[in-house]
Structure 1
Amino acid sequence: MRFNYQAMVEGNQRPYIIAELGANHNGDMELAKTLIKTAKECGADAVKLQSWTVDDLFSKKKYEDNYFLGDDYRNRTDYTLKSVMEAYAVSKEQHVMLQKYCEELDIDFVSTPFSMAGADFLVDELHVPYLKVASLDVDNIPFLRHVGSKGVPVVISTGLTGMDDVCAAVQALEEGGCHEIVILHCVSMYPPKDENVNLNNIDMYNMVFDYPVGYSDHTIGTVAPIMSIAKNVCIIEKHFTMDKNMEGWDHKVSADPAELKVICDAARQGYNMLGNYHKVVVEDQNRRDEFKRSIVAKHDMPAGHVLTFEDLDYKRPGTGISPKYYEALIGRELKHDVKYDDIFTWGDF
């Protein structure tokens, strides 16, 4: 399934699944291609990179501090933050190569820019179907206005900030000219505690905004993304790795192939289970007759007997008079004898 914003607005398709590669390729383009191919085989609709350079994400101070948030590189002396950023950055030529590979496999190729120049490259040169904005840029108003001006839909994660900033971010995108926005509920902990996942925020966003809402997941496992399907999300984004034990940034909190397939399968099957907001009777008449009850005689009664409440019982099958009409039988006179357990018909009176 390809990205279709209008279908997301109308809510008439299953969730669109984004396999977030991020930096889980570890700078190895053969690994990146393996991730893409496997994501496609698992049923994902898109793979997403992160488009940054050494110069457009971290300041000089960050490199001087050389501090890693919480990954395999902390407290090691054989790596620096800058060397890892250089190793994991995806060049323009590599973007082009990976996009071509995605086209061959018929899976959407998208990315998250971390600079205005990155957004320009993705839209103007690669012609991506939409841009994904990371939670860290929710309050980056100049960047959001620029992203909003690019003429493509924008999918924005909403971790790290409160509702005031989320509202301001949406307004900034609109001021840039974008009115095709998807808001992703997101908790930017890796991983969050269960009590902090707060999937009910999906409902809240649906009440506040006139834009479709999805879910960007950073939990371990498959429970949260599967539960989000019941919230009728239009997008599920999940970090993806070939091996959770691989050295790197996000492998431990990513879905492996088996988990991604579970999520993709659930998105298809679970969506079909949602149905609609109308009570629909799907059982055929024979099944309804077999399972429902009829009014029956509680004991033998002669012709001329006037029925009372104590004369009635209610048993399967439901081929006779429904129990909901019991009051209409009380006070009626029998035309003929009836026996215990006989199913009443309107012709008995």
Structure 2
Amino acid sequence: MKVVNITKEKTVQNFSTPYIIAEIGANHNGDMQLAKKMIDAAVECGCDAVKFQSWTPDSIVSKEEYDRNQRYNDSAKKHFGSLREMVDKYYLRTEQHYDLESYCRQKNIDFCSTPFTNREVDLLEDLHVPFYKIASMDINNYDFLAYVAQKGKPVILSTGMSTLGEIETAIKVVNNAGNDDIVLLHCISIYPPLYEDIHLNNITMLQQTFGYPVGFSDHTIGYSIPLASVALGSCVIEKHFTLDKDLPGWDHEISANPEEMKIICQESHNIVKSLGNFKRTVSSAEIAKKDKFRRSAVAKIEINAGHIVSVNDLDFKRPGTGIQPEEIKYLIGRKVKSGIPEGELIKWEHFE
């Protein structure tokens, strides 16, 4: 089973305790005080890392796309102005990267970010990020994947919108760049997806098809689906994070709030502990329950000395300290040497 050292202190493999990433993304809304409050909350929840997104107004959106999105029609007031105005407000400046990485070090939580150009990869390399998370949109951006892979750090690759062939090719690009430290994330790039479109069984399929650790990049509302993914072996959980789902911005509404994120962190650990192994195991505590909860033979009626026991003479009730139900064949046809009152546990010494 492939093991990836995702950080110096943390290894991941299928069915290991999941490495939980609070995806802040652009939910800081351009406010560094809000970003730091979110980092504090992620620490309190028990997350392993906070993740941002490293892009600029020129990184991922073309002029044509900006021109097409001049005004948001949003009655809920989650958006404002044009796409360009929102990007200008929400993108993370270079100096803010350094400020947030330093703050994360103080708070003992891993800082990471998704880059979208080589320039941003270089920035994150200077910040000594432990790994690179590649967004689903870049799974077929092969030159970019190779550039990231050559940094020699683990690559966490989201697979939203991708065919198996595209995933296979992306893995080969990373491998050919000399990097075999890959974690795949099952991902549905809809915010939020319909339940019937999630296909959590793809986690098992990806594990078996490619042999790499597989996690889950979640865009559902709530915490039930990421927790379900842990039972299938997800070793990384990436979940959008917010302090308030009603804040303006792109992703707050589908993000986990601190209460939900704390449940994900705590319960995912409990799920991993509870999975155990494929060997049938009965604990000593459970074995001790046998005497209390199983049944023993009792006299259904008063049985006199000299009587030959038949099935109609017997009942089986708690506790399980006497003659067990599976031993009934050794009772039938035997002669009683001393009387047995109705309802009393039958013992071997009652017989000749």
Question: Normalising to structure 2: TM-score of the pair?
Answer: 0.88
Contact 1:15/1:235 (<8 A) preserved? yes
Q: Deviations over 1:183-240 (max 9, x none)?
A: 1111111111122222222222222231222111111222222222322321211111
Q: Deviations over 1:69-97 (max 9, x none)?
A: 99789998x73323322322212221111
Aligned partner (choices 75, 99, 102) of residue 101 of structure 2: 99
1:36 aligns with 39
Contact 2:323/2:347 (<8 A) preserved? yes
Matches within 5 A, 1:139-288: 139-282=140-283, 283=285, 286-288=288-290
Relative distance call for 1:3 and 1:296 in structure 2 (3 A) is farther
2:3 aligns with none
Contact 1:115/1:143 (<8 A) preserved? yes
Query: AA paired with 2:196?
Result: E
Aligned partner (choices 50, 58, 72) of residue 55 of structure 1: 58
Q: Deviations over 1:275-325 (max 9, x none)?
A: 333333233555321111112232233444443333332110000122122
Give the whole-Å Cα distance in 1 for the aligned partners of 2:342 and 2:77. Answer: 82
Q: Deviations over 1:123-160 (max 9, x none)?
A: 3x111111111111122222222222221111111111
Matches within 5 A, 1:74-113: 79-113=81-115
State the Cα RMSD in Å.
2.7
2:67 counterpart of 1:64: yes
Matches within 5 A, 1:115-134: 115-123=117-125, 125-134=126-135
Give the whole-Å Cα distance in 2 for the aligned partners of 1:73 and 1:306. Answer: 83
Report the more deviating stretch, 198-207 or 289-298.
198-207
1:336 aligns with 338
1:137 aligns with 138
Secondary structure in structure 2 of the residue aligned to 1:156? strand
Report the more deviating stretch, 245-254 or 140-149.
140-149
Question: Normalising to structure 1: TM-score of the pair?
Answer: 0.89
Structure 2: give runs of 5+ residues left out of the alignment: 1-5
Relative distance call for 1:181 and 1:327 in structure 2 (3 A) is farther
Give the whole-Å Cα distance in 1 for the aligned partners of 2:149 and 2:9. Answer: 15
Relative distance call for 1:130 and 1:244 in structure 2 (3 A) is same
Give the whole-Å Cα distance in 1 for the aligned partners of 2:253 and 2:66. Answer: 24
Report the more deviating stretch, 32-41 or 330-339.
330-339
Report the count of equivalent residues.
345
Structure 1 position 37, deviation (Å): 1.2
2:329 aligns with 327
Give the whole-Å Cα distance in 1 for the aligned partners of 2:57 and 2:141. Answer: 19
Contact 1:120/1:150 (<8 A) preserved? no
Q: Deviations over 1:27-78 (max 9, x none)?
A: 22122111111111122111000111222212232223236899789998x7
